[in-house]
């Protein structure tokens, strides 16, 4: 973790100091500092992309993509992954101690994707990395990749935004709002000061995740995984499930596998994430609109940019659909940027970028190796 006492002036005008930036690195930085790949994480991800997660004990979220000999080859590249500003895994966020001497909570300033990127740039400055060889990320990670090039065009040689969009759609803002309202409705929310009550709005946060998780999958994926299979809930007879009983049979005496799965996703999420971080980061996604300062012209931020792009989408992603990636690719094309566009056939929905998708592996490997050749990077360090 790096602490920068000078802090960061946020887009909202507030000055956040000190600034903590939590990160992990994989592979070795070359003497010329020209082989750095920044991998940007999504909404609930964190810096543990390649090694065991300290809270869950599970492998890092992209350990199948990043490592020796893998598509993002750490024998060759120096990979950096940074917990976003506003997060809850060590970077400054709502859990950090604010000016009142207690956690910021809901008083944490509103942050934007650009603020996240500017915080990341400070870490790279600290490492003496003037230019990234590549920036890669999915979902909100892809928003950061786009913002990186829009804000620091000379600092990114190659960019791969995956399963993302140039602005957050009305539908996605709507889903985020439902998640947030679930948190607010939890009696343990305590107006965001739950820590002072030794409480956690666990039910609200779990429901928020359950709802959001549905949007990360597809109808086909849910049907394949669970269909209409049912399991008996062992707790039902103890009356611990919601609802009443009808005669001798309990209304919720059995549950569909998909219900059980969502409850599991909700409860495991609560163990690794903070509700105020969830609010802060979902809001940052909602604010994201690359064309906002350019009267709706999406190509304007990219005119004259030398970065090579590969824009990637998944055919069954209805949260960040291919149409939004295509819009981005066309805007880059209009701006005269070197851009390729790949739609990967998958029926696994938005979270396909986290899963074993050989076509994604081939696309990532091909783009990186092609860009490395173009950059004149040595085959191995």
Ligand X SMILES: CC(=O)SCCNC(=O)CCNC(=O)[C@H](O)C(C)(C)COP(=O)(O)OP(=O)(O)OC[C@H]1O[C@@H](n2cnc3c(N)ncnc32)[C@H](O)[C@@H]1OP(=O)(O)O
Ligand Y SMILES: N[C@@H](CCO)C(=O)O
Consecutive H or E run containing 358: helix 358-375
Put the strands of the sheet holding 23-26 in their side by side order.
Answer: 23-26, 78-82, 36-40, 132-138, 156-162, 308-314, 339-344
Cβ proximity to ligand Y: between 176 and 363 the closer is: 176
**DSSP, residue by residue, 170-203:** HHHHHHHHHHHHHHHTSTT-GGG-GGGGT---HH
Consecutive H or E run containing 369: helix 358-375
Q: Per CB under 6 A, which region of 30-38, 41-49, 125-133, 368-376 contacts ligand Y?
A: 41-49
User: Applying CB under 6 A, does 42 fall inside the site for ligand Y?
Assistant: yes
351 is in an annotated binding site: yes
317 is annotated as an active-site residue: yes
- Taking the complex as a whole, the smallest distance from the CB of residue 334 to ligand Y amounts, in Å, to 27
- Taking the complex as a whole, the smallest distance from the CB of residue 289 to ligand Y amounts, in Å, to 17
Q: Which residues bind ligand X (CB under 6 A)?
A: 41-42, 44-45, 61, 138, 141, 257, 260-261, 264, 268, 351, 354-355
Query: What binding mask, one character per residue, do residues 120-139 give for ligand Y by CB under 6 A, x or -?
Result: -------------------x
Cβ proximity to ligand Y: between 29 and 140 the closer is: 140
Answer for which of 27, 45, 67, 192 binds ligand Y (CB under 6 A) is 45
Cβ proximity to ligand X: between 58 and 378 the closer is: 58
Distances (CA, A) of 11 to 15, 111, 132, 289: 9, 7, 23, 14
Beta strands, E only, the chain: 2-4, 8-9, 15-16, 19-21, 23-26, 36-40, 66-67, 72-73, 78-82, 132-138, 156-162, 230-232, 245-246, 249-250, 254-256, 308-314, 339-344
257 binds, among ligand Y, ligand X, none (CB under 5 to 8 A by kind): ligand X
CB 259 within 8 A of CB 228: no
Cβ proximity to ligand X: between 299 and 324 the closer is: 324
- Taking the complex as a whole, the smallest distance from the CB of residue 352 to ligand Y amounts, in Å, to 10
197 is annotated as an active-site residue: no
266 binds, among ligand X, ligand Y, none (CB under 5 to 8 A by kind): none
Cβ proximity to ligand X: between 65 and 372 the closer is: 65
Please identify which of the residues 20, 41, 91, 139 carries the catalytic annotation. 139
- 346-375 residues near ligand Y, rule: CB under 6 A: 351
Q: What is the largest CA-CA distance in the chain?
A: 75
Cβ proximity to ligand X: between 123 and 337 the closer is: 123
Distance CA 123, CA 205 (A): 31
**DSSP, residue by residue, 201-218:** -HHHHHHHHHHHHHHHS-
Separation of CA 258 from chain center? 24
Helix (H/G/I), strand (E/B), else coil: 351: helix
Query: What binding mask, one character per residue, do residues 173-212 give for ligand Y by CB under 6 A, x or -?
Result: ----------------------------------------
Please identify which of the residues 41, 78, 168, 350 carries the catalytic annotation. 350
Binding residues, as ranges, are 209, 351
Binding residues for substrate, as ranges, are 209, 351
Where does this chain bind ligand Y (CB under 6 A)?
42-45, 139-140, 216, 351
Active site positions, annotated: 139, 317, 350
């Amino acid at each position: 973790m790096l602490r920068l006492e000078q802090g960061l002036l946020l887009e909202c005008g507030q000055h956040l100091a000190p600034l903590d930036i939590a990160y992990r690195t994989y592979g070795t930085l070359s003497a010329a500092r020209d082989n750095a790949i920044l991998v940007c994480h999504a909404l609930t991800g964190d810096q543990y992309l390649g090694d065991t997660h300290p809270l869950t004990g599970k492998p890092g979220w992209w350990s199948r993509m990043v490592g020796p000999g893998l598509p993002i080859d750490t024998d060759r590249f120096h990979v950096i992954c940074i917990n976003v500003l506003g997060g809850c895994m060590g970077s400054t966020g709502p859990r950090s101690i604010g000016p009142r001497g207690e956690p910021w909570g809901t008083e944490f300033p509103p942050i934007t994707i650009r603020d996240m990127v500017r915080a990341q740039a400070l870490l790279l400055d600290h490492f003496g990395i003037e230019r990234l060889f590549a920036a890669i990320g999915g979902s909100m990670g892809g928003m950061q990749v786009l913002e990186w090039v829009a804000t620091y065009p000379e600092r990114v040689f190659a960019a791969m935004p995956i399963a993302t969009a140039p602005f957050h759609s009305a539908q996605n803002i709507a889903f985020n709002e439902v998640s947030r309202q679930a948190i607010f409705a939890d009696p343990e929310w305590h107006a965001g000061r739950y820590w002072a009550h030794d409480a956690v709005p666990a039910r609200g946060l779990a429901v928020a995740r359950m709802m959001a998780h549905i949007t990360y999958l597809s109808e086909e994926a849910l049907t394949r995984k669970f269909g209409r299979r049912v399991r008996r809930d062992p707790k039902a007879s103890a009356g611990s499930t919601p609802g009443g009983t009808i005669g001798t049979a309990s209304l919720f005496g059995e549950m569909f596998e998909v219900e059980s799965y969502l409850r599991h996703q909700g409860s495991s999420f609560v163990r690794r994430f903070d509700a105020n971080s969830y609010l802060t980061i979902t809001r940052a996604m909602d604010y994201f609109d690359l064309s906002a300062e350019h009267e709706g012209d999406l190509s304007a931020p990219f005119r004259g940019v030398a970065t090579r792009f590969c824009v990637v989408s998944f055919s069954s992603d209805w949260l960040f659909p291919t149409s939004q990636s295509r819009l981005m690719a066309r805007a880059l094309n209009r701006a005269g940027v070197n851009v390729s566009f790949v739609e990967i056939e998958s029926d696994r929905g938005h979270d396909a970028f986290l899963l074993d998708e050989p076509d994604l592996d081939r696309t990532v490997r091909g783009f990186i190796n092609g860009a490395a050749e173009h950059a004149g990077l040595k085959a191995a360090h």
